[in-house]
A and B are shown apart, each in its own frame.
With several copies, the nearest count.
Chain A
Amino acid sequence: MQDVVEVHREPRSVEEIRRDFPILSRQVHGKPLVYLDSAASSQKPLAVIEAMNAYYRSSHANVHRGVYEISEEATEALERARTKVARFINARQSKQIIFTRNTTESINLVAYSWGWANIKAGDLIVLTTMEHHSNLVPWQLLAQRSGARLEFVPLTPEGLLQLDVYARLLEQEPKLVAFTQMSNVLGTINPVKEMVAQAHAAGAVVLVDAAQSAPHLPLDVQELDADFVCFSGHKMLGPTGIGVLYGKRELLEAMPPFLGGGDMIRSVSLRSSTWNDLPWKFEAGTPAIAEAVGLGAAVDYLSALGMDWVRQHERSITAYALERLQTVPQLRIYGPVAEEQRGGVVSFSLADIHPHDLASILDQEFGVAIRAGHHCAQPLMEHLGLVATARASFYVYTLPEEIDVLVQGLRRALEIFQV
């Protein structure tokens, strides 16, 4: 999937990788930052920061319509980034890559454009109870406006999808099936390829929320065969302000536009307009050019590491974290036990200490940044019978020593709360 040249490089040590991330050498509350919240947003390597910097310092101009040198350079930079992203996920053509702001906008684009054109009253949309709000609320809004029905694939106690229920829901011939490739709370990796094949057999269109998977797993959209795949730049070493919608060509061609305005048109008269070719039909207005450049640099960085290496590194860090966390009294871990079924995300609770209190203690006394809350997955929290969990998540720069600091902090929290 990646450049062959890159994959065969000598693997770099995590210590070496960390030197590429300026923020990792900073201190918080007088302690070195231990950043365990990459599932919310990753940190950025110098290569990404500098690519944007260089773009603004030497090649910025508006794109597509400029006949002069720097506008040609900017257009080139934008379209080269698109090609890089296409290659990174093995899309057949770069015109299948639509730049959005984030995963959330990508999903909403499909809900508004494809959804409005294809979903009618009484139609069924199948989701799961582990979805992030971003893959839930857009479908609620669509269902409310169209009169469509929503059904949900429930979870096993361990946090896996109940695939037998999924199969039964497919018998009702849903128009659309949308689910996440990896849970941002439980870490669960869903069997996307099989689920897509089953959904297609039942005649459904499939959207995959790859916000958590694109940054962490080798992703081949042709192999998965999903119709739409959505992800965010900021979770995969890239900048804020850019996301991706991948779609199958025939679907994207047939869809009406979403946002109207400059660049997405072929011709405009006062009362009607015709639309530009893909991908620009869906990119109205001046795009996030510098952000595309940054995302291009991010996928270059990841490809150079090799996504197999990334997955492997996170597997071993996660295994270590699970092992060490189990040594903390009164700590409860959520999600699958089998390592190959989970990504680098561990949600847990500790005694009767609320996750917010835990996060404050870890931050202020140990410099450890974890996430605490409902993780934009309230229905999943409901399922777990919780209001919130604490969550540690890992990436290419995470060291085992950082897990040790986390565990030390958890023990201290038990002391403070006199448990």
Chain B
Amino acid sequence: MSMDYREYILDHYRDPRNYGRLENPTVHVEDSNPLCGDQVSMDLLVEGDHVTAVRFQGRGCAISQAATSMLTEMVQGKSVEEVVRLGKDDILEALGIPISPARMKCAFLGLRVLHKSLVLAGLERPEHDDEL
């Protein structure tokens, strides 16, 4: 298995979508991967039952930053119901390349931050046992 860094991944890495902060986010969450130090923070604006705006900032590898950038595209403008359902498979599908076990934590860092945000906003139950 070889992780090949496709052009679109490098593109998201070098030119991340929805990068930055929101003025009045519903929720702001930061997290890091304790094993490598990669960081992601995310702002969500929830209006009614939709996520109307999302921004992220981060430092880290191409995988973690591109995956988060892609994730924000999936979140933007979607219903809370849809966003809550976003999971690992969606990330892996978006990345579209094989991810080695050690890099899974990178791929899912943004997702972890997203779900922490949803929990904090009271839109999702904390799922203690889910290892993101």
Instruction: Give A contacts to B, CB under 8 Å.
Output: 29, 64-69, 71-72, 75-76, 93, 249, 265-267, 276-277, 280, 352-357, 360-361, 363-365, 372-374, 378, 381, 387-388, 416-418
Q: Which of A67, A75, A93 has the most CB of B within 10 A?
A: A67
* Contact between B34 and A360, CB atoms less than 8 A apart: no
Is B54's beta carbon under 8 Å from chain A?
Answer: no
Complex CA distance for A417 and B106, rounded to whole angstroms: 18
Instruction: Report the separation of the CA atoms of residues A29 and B98 in the bound assembly, to the nearest whole angstrom.
Output: 14
Closest approach, in angstroms, between the C-beta of B16 and any C-beta of chain A?
Answer: 13
Shortest Cβ distance from B39 into A: residue: A387
Interface residue from B4, B35, B59, B62 paired with A373 (Cβ < 8 Å) = B35
Decide if B5 touches A417 in the complex (CB within 8 Å).
Answer: yes
Q: Could you list which residues of chain B lie within 8 angstroms of chain A, going by C-beta atoms?
A: 1-5, 10, 14, 32, 34-39, 59-64, 100-103, 106, 128-129
Give 11 CB contacts A-B under 8 Å. Answer: A65-B36, A76-B101, A93-B129, A249-B128, A353-B62, A356-B60, A364-B1, A373-B35, A373-B36, A387-B38, A387-B39
Asked if A364 and B34 make an inter-chain contact with CB atoms under 8 angstroms apart, the answer reads: no
Inter-chain contacts of B34 with A (CB < 8 A):
265-267, 276-277, 280
Q: Which residue of A lies closest to B98 (CB)?
A: A364
Partner of B32 from the list A69, A75, A266, A361 (CB cut-off 8 Å) is A266
Among B2, B32, B37, B62, the most chain A Cβ lie within 10 Å of the Cβ of: B37
Docked complex Cα distance between A64 and B105 (Å): 11
Q: Are B62 and A357 in contact (CB under 8 A)?
A: yes
Report the Cα distance A352→B4, complex, angstroms: 17
Residues of chain A lying within 8 A (CB to CB) of residue B32: 266-267
The answer to whether B100 and A72 have CB atoms under 8 Å apart is yes
CA distance A277 to B128 in the complex (A): 11
Of A69, A276, A374, the residue contacting B37 (CB under 8 A) is: A374
Which 3 A-B residue pairings sit nearest by Cβ, starting from the closest? A354-B61, A356-B61, A266-B34
- A169, B62: Cα distance in complex, Å: 42
A374 and B63: CB pair below 8 A?
Answer: no
Shortest beta-carbon distance, A239 to chain B, in Å?
Answer: 23
- Residues of B with C-beta under 8 A to A71: 102
On chain A, the residues within 8 Å of B37 by CB distance are 267, 373-374, 378, 381, 387-388
Find out whether the CB atom of B2 lies under 8 angstroms from the CB atom of A29.
Answer: yes
